Structure 1
Amino acid sequence: MMERIKELEHYICTLYETKDQLRRHIYKRADQAFEAGDEQRDRIDNCELLEERRQAMKRAFVKSIGGLPPSDTPLNAAVVNVVAAEGYRIENIVFESRPGEYVTGNLYLPRQLVEVAPAVLFLSGHEAQAKHSIRYHEVCLRMVQAGLVVFAIDPIGQGERLSLLRNSEGEEVWGTAEHQRLGIQCYALGQSVARYFVHDAMRAVDYLAMRPEVDPTRIGVTGNSGGGTQTAMMMVCDDRIAAAAPATFIMNRQQYMHAGGVQDAEQIWPGLSGLGFDHEDLLLAFAPKPLLVCAVKYDFFPIEATRRTVQRCRRFWEMSGQGEGLRLVEDEFTHSYTDVLAIAAADFFTEHLLEQGDAERDAYRSKAQRSKLAPLASEQLQCTRSGQVMREYADAKAPSDTFSILAAELAEARTAARDEQSAAASEWLKRIVLTDRERCELNPRFIQMPSLAGLNIKYVLWWSQPEVMNSGYLFSPDCGTDDASGSDLSRATIAIALWQDGTKNLVQWWNWIQSMCASGRTVLVLNVSAVGPHEPHLLYGKPNDRFFGMTHKLADELIWLGDSLAALRIYDVLRAAEFAASLCKPDDCQIELYAAGLFRIYAELAIKLDARLQAGKLPGDAGSIRLSEWLAQGVADERDVMSVIIPGILQYYDLQIDKR
């Protein structure tokens, strides 16, 4: 019998190919938003409209990331070490961007330093060592060689700033893995982890402005990849930046969506695509200040997308009489801040911050081609003895600690205004689940399967939304009929089952299915969007239920649109309940929802939206835990997480989820 059950799990229905349907549905919505954004920007034909767009996008960006933390706390900056080298010296700095959140950085000071000099903030991409990576160290040295003060800092989750979160194997995570976990915590609060990245950079500018060697009116910013992201965010958020050189990041989101992979949580800004945002808005937010876009031709960010964005934005500088203020430099390389780009960026900053003439800049470029400043060992660039601020300072905090504090504050607010909160939560839930969904006829298709162990089995497909089909197996006691229409399902109680892998996971639950049918129920094992046979094609071979797989990518695109995969799937559950109700007499139908693991979130919220639905309990329950408590533990197990997280949910609900 086990082999027969496995055959059911592997059944392939040939009525519709559904693996690509969710991607097509989401991309269609996103394409419409991108086209609307292009039309909005195309209407900008004077400086007044440009300024309106710039201010509107700045407000939208800051709101999208949940606002910025206050910058009125003391930096408590300290020089922990000074290292002298040939032609320059480095001060190793530690400051507090927020109380207890320590930022580590290297301040590069050229030997031939004018009394008050311009400075460049260098923001690291996704290198494990971050500021003391040899790659980034040498980029900074190119700028020091040009006579610029440079301040390179470690971002969250890299260098000396790991949060010490662990995965399900107990290993410490860093970089993209940490950023994603912190991002999920922030999403639940109604924020983006981007707020902490950009705030750290703004506090680094605060520090530079305090230094007697630095002219606070001549501060630039650069970085590549994730550092390019941070640079772009600074272009939007910090008006003190006088010149910028984002590297290997600026592109066109529509082209990257169709051609590319998945980005980190700090690079996902909830709701902005729905407002027509694209990377052109990052550039126009900085116009008409000097801007050098650095790119490589063989990047995973399509070079065509970068060129398109720069070309479409040139007119914003021309409107202000600064037509040469926006430039693009390219190198023939893969994703990297190459030496060619480093020299070009240093030359750009000497022109606009040092205000050097052609002769001086020619001299720098000629010298840079002949020689480099000698780098230091990475150990000399570290600011802590232990290598990590979380181990170095007893009062050190990470964004994951801040999550627990903010989650507790939200819990108090929900309790203090229970009646008003209940009404607000109900309206929020209706909005996030029902808005932008197009109702259609269910039009179910019934496929009779061979009976098994005394059970009648039908595979059924129906439309949840136009172009989005859900499915499931209907199990009921075998009454000896061959009717495939479903009209023989006279049972008044239908149990809808929600669990990981849907109909591809029957063996584990077979005893429960049989026992439910024996109790007089009909069981519908449900495949919501992108589950079971609807699971999308793999992205670069990465599992769909893990970070950076295709399901993650689709979830991100929905977050960009102001939606979420969880909300879409809750709608799927509501439509499945409509389908189940259609099998019974109108006044003689009881629908129960049984859900396992994280999928319990779908059931809990669907029940709040449909009074017909009742909660059931699956066997083998290992206990439950509140969503906020589970998130506070650091999301060790990444399976299915991106498909159940709803931005802002903790402002309204703190649900119980299964530990299983």
Structure 2
Amino acid sequence: MTTAWGTMLLLLAAATPAEDLKVLPASLDGVPPPGMMRAYLLRQVREASDRRAAEFEKGKAREQIAAYQARLRQFFIDQLGGLPERTPLEPRVVGRVEGDGYTVEKVIYQSQPGHFVTAALYLPKTKPPFPGVLVPCGHSENGKAMETYQRVSILLARNGLAALCYDPIDQGERFQLLDAKGVPQARTTLGHCLIGVGSILLGRNTATYRVWDGIRSLDYLESRPEVDPKRLGCTGNSGGGTLTAYLMALDPRIQAAAPSCYLTTLRRLAETIGPQDAEQNIHGQLAFGMDHADYVLMRAPRPTLLCCATHDYFDISGVWDTFRQAKRWYGRLGFPERVDLAEAEEKHGFSPLLRTAAVRWMRRWLLHADDAIVETEAKLLTDKQLQCTPQGQVMLLEGARSVYDLNRELESRLAETRRQMWAQKGAAAMLEEVRRLTGIRRLNELPALECQKVGVVQRGGYCLEKLILRPEPGIWLPALCFLPQKSAGPATLYLHGGGKQVDAAPGGPIEKLVQSGQIVLAVDLRGLGETQGGKPTGYGRFLGPDWADVFLAYLLNRSYLAMRAEDILVASRFLAHYQSSPARPVHLVAVGGTGPVALHAAALEPEAFASVTL
């Protein structure tokens, strides 16, 4: 009999529908809830793009253009956190390989003390001096040894131009994070993103290190006696196109440039594939008005060829938009012929057509040879033949320092500075500095949120109201308000990084608070719970599922921390007055990923909370 009753109870439980604690409808102004933040940020991207377009149109006279260029270059350097001081390169040629019409020298130098760079220098077998062309690699795991970069370097050398192709961090021989056996733990773009996490917290960017490696590589290239330092160029594809764009904008030594398969517009990037890995996102550049076209405009009127592919995932219409802007500015400066575009009807990649176009461009402007060279077959070297280090990785060299080491050293210096500032200025002044840096507004500056009740769930001894809270246009915060039959005393604002429903089950932590007589408001902060975008796969496993939206906000100079902290503040104010007069005290509970946000909100507005539990 006991077994029969047990089976019946199980069947009844299975037949009882589970509580539906979802609050939001399937569509929010035509967008599903997980797409809310992307849609919200995209509206701001378009607004920022329109503002920049209006600013671009003001640049008519040479003086206006020069001022625009100087302003953007300074902004760019500032957003990188400045650039390190130049230190001795300590270069060593560690090997030499003879090729058909060229020689390859294997080189190691230091962009910063102990921060080793491995490179291959391709030298023509004709009489020097030669122009020199820097070839930053794209995101190939084997870096400089990838077929594409060997072929373009060989093509340059066979046609009278020295080419220096170097390994980026986390590629080739420069993986920055090795295990005890020397095996890389983070490769290419993932490695760049992980470096970005620490760098961003320090006011730097992965691009800081990438750009500095490129500048120091140019230093090495121009130091070679075979190279004419007044005739330098730069060309690279994909991630190498990114670095080419950055370097040509910042380093005036680059006389001719040919970035490939990267430049589009930030608007089209955001509307299509979205932000990419860390170094391709410069903090606040959209808000400030620095778009992809500006990498070309900053160097005008020096010769620049935009190489692109019809079927690239970097949107082709954006490339043509950028090209048209550049063509107009170069025309205003009197040199329309110095900017051009080569489009291959291909997918993403440094195709033979684009490689050839880049080399022809370098010959035109660095050798004054406007001819139609062609690419012929070349014997490529193996990864082992191009290896510069004894064990294949710079981090196994004596005295090697990784980017992680460099960041740790900077953090140690900053920690001491912070300690002194807190001692000298006091807590109140330092909290104002926190407010300034984060952009979290004062509670009295934030508008009251709108509230819509969309449902009720009954439970024994209390009920759950389903509420939609609207702190601003484009943002919907789903919430559950737990109301006991008899409420007494304070209320609790309950936040959970996994969503409001995690601790909302019968018998859970929230129910215990409600049974003590408290009203509890459990809220999904923007981009969490029902509105969380992305997936916990790929980069999402390490950076969070919404990493792309976070980078989009980063481009807009919007901080998820600040936006969510303001959500907490207005929700607390709402709860203090909800069904209560006078206002009740509000306790704050934050679990998991909501902890740092709650800490900022409470530190800046301590009077808003009776207590804080993290």
Q: TM-score, length-normalised on structure 2?
A: 0.91
Q: Partners of 1:155 and 1:543 in 2: how far apart?
A: 21
Equivalent in 524, 530, 534 of residue 531 of structure 2: 534
1:568-579 counterparts in 2 under 5 A?
568-579=563-574
Match of 2:171 in 1: 158
The AA in structure 2 aligned to 1:455 is: Y
Contact 1:250–1:279 (CA<8 Å) still a contact in 2? yes
Structure 1 vs Structure 2: percent identity of aligned residues?
29
Match of 1:473 in 2: 480
Q: Which moved more, 1:469-478 or 1:377-386?
A: 469-478
Within the alignment, does 1:52 sit opposite 2:67 as a pair? Answer: yes
Q: Partners of 1:213 and 1:602 in 2: how far apart?
A: 56
Match of 2:555 in 1: 560
Match of 2:151 in 1: 138
1:509-520 counterparts in 2 under 5 A?
511-520=508-517
The AA in structure 2 aligned to 1:80 is: V
Cα 1:32/1:261, change in 2 over 3 Å: closer
1:211-251: per-residue Cα shift (whole Å, max 9, x none)?
A: 10000001101111111111111112111111111000111
Contact 2:137–2:239 (CA<8 Å) still a contact in 1? yes
Contact 1:440–1:466 (CA<8 Å) still a contact in 2? no
Q: Which moved more, 1:247-256 or 1:12-21?
A: 12-21
1:479-558 counterparts in 2 under 5 A?
490-506=487-503, 511-536=508-533, 538=534, 546=541, 551-558=546-553
1:477 deviation in Å? Answer: 2.9
Q: Partners of 1:15 and 1:553 in 2: how far apart?
A: 21
Within the alignment, does 1:321 sit opposite 2:334 as a pair? Answer: yes
3-state SS of 1:417 partner: helix
Within the alignment, does 1:581 sit opposite 2:576 as a pair? Answer: yes
**RMSD (Å) for aligned C-alpha atoms:** 2.5
Match of 1:372 in 2: 377
Q: Partners of 1:326 and 1:509 in 2: how far apart?
A: 67
1:447 deviation in Å? Answer: 3.8
Match of 2:122 in 1: 108
1:264 deviation in Å? Answer: 1.1
Within the alignment, does 1:265 sit opposite 2:278 as a pair? Answer: yes
Cα 1:460/1:576, change in 2 over 3 Å: same
Within the alignment, does 1:451 sit opposite 2:458 as a pair? Answer: yes
Contact 2:498–2:592 (CA<8 Å) still a contact in 1? no
Q: Which moved more, 1:607-616 or 1:247-256?
A: 607-616
The AA in structure 2 aligned to 1:40 is: E
Match of 1:605 in 2: 600
Query: Alignment length, in residue pairs?
Result: 592
Q: Partners of 2:27 and 2:343 in 1: how far apart?
A: 48
Q: Partners of 1:111 and 1:320 in 2: how far apart?
A: 38
Equivalent in 339, 353, 359 of residue 352 of structure 2: 339
Q: Partners of 2:15 and 2:193 in 1: how far apart?
A: 39
Within the alignment, does 1:209 sit opposite 2:206 as a pair? Answer: no
| Structure with more relative contact order (C-alpha pairs < 8 Å, separation 6 or more) | 1
Q: Partners of 1:496 and 1:597 in 2: how far apart?
A: 15
Contact 1:291–1:325 (CA<8 Å) still a contact in 2? yes
Cα 1:4/1:88, change in 2 over 3 Å: farther
Q: Partners of 1:592 and 1:531 in 2: how far apart?
A: 21
Cα 1:508/1:379, change in 2 over 3 Å: farther
Contact 2:137–2:240 (CA<8 Å) still a contact in 1? yes
Q: Partners of 1:66 and 1:268 in 2: how far apart?
A: 14
Within the alignment, does 1:594 sit opposite 2:608 as a pair? Answer: no
1:513-557: per-residue Cα shift (whole Å, max 9, x none)?
A: 222223332222210112112223x48x95895468872222112
3-state SS of 1:461 partner: strand
3-state SS of 2:389 partner: coil
Contact 2:285–2:557 (CA<8 Å) still a contact in 1? yes
Match of 2:246 in 1: 233
Q: Partners of 1:93 and 1:424 in 2: how far apart?
A: 50
Q: Partners of 2:407 and 2:521 in 1: how far apart?
A: 38
The AA in structure 2 aligned to 1:105 is: A
Q: Which moved more, 1:450-459 or 1:202-211?
A: 450-459
Contact 1:143–1:342 (CA<8 Å) still a contact in 2? no
1:109 deviation in Å? Answer: 1.0
1:31 deviation in Å? Answer: 1.3
Contact 1:243–1:289 (CA<8 Å) still a contact in 2? yes
Q: Partners of 2:466 and 2:113 in 1: how far apart?
A: 57
Q: Partners of 2:170 and 2:349 in 1: how far apart?
A: 20
The AA in structure 2 aligned to 1:282 is: Y
The AA in structure 1 aligned to 2:421 is: A
Structure 1 unmatched runs, 5+:
480-489, 619-660
Cα 1:448/1:192, change in 2 over 3 Å: same
Equivalent in 427, 431, 435 of residue 426 of structure 1: 431
Equivalent in 28, 41, 52 of residue 37 of structure 1: 52
1:32 deviation in Å? Answer: 1.3
Q: Which moved more, 1:415-424 or 1:554-563?
A: 415-424
Q: Partners of 2:462 and 2:344 in 1: how far apart?
A: 65
Q: TM-score, length-normalised on structure 1?
A: 0.85
1:382 deviation in Å? Answer: 1.1
Cα 1:462/1:211, change in 2 over 3 Å: same
Contact 2:144–2:167 (CA<8 Å) still a contact in 1? yes
Cα 1:3/1:289, change in 2 over 3 Å: farther
1:289 deviation in Å? Answer: 0.8
Within the alignment, does 1:148 sit opposite 2:165 as a pair? Answer: no
Match of 1:305 in 2: 318
Q: Partners of 1:582 and 1:544 in 2: how far apart?
A: 41
3-state SS of 1:412 partner: helix
Q: Partners of 1:120 and 1:421 in 2: how far apart?
A: 52
Match of 1:389 in 2: 394
Q: Partners of 1:550 and 1:420 in 2: how far apart?
A: 39
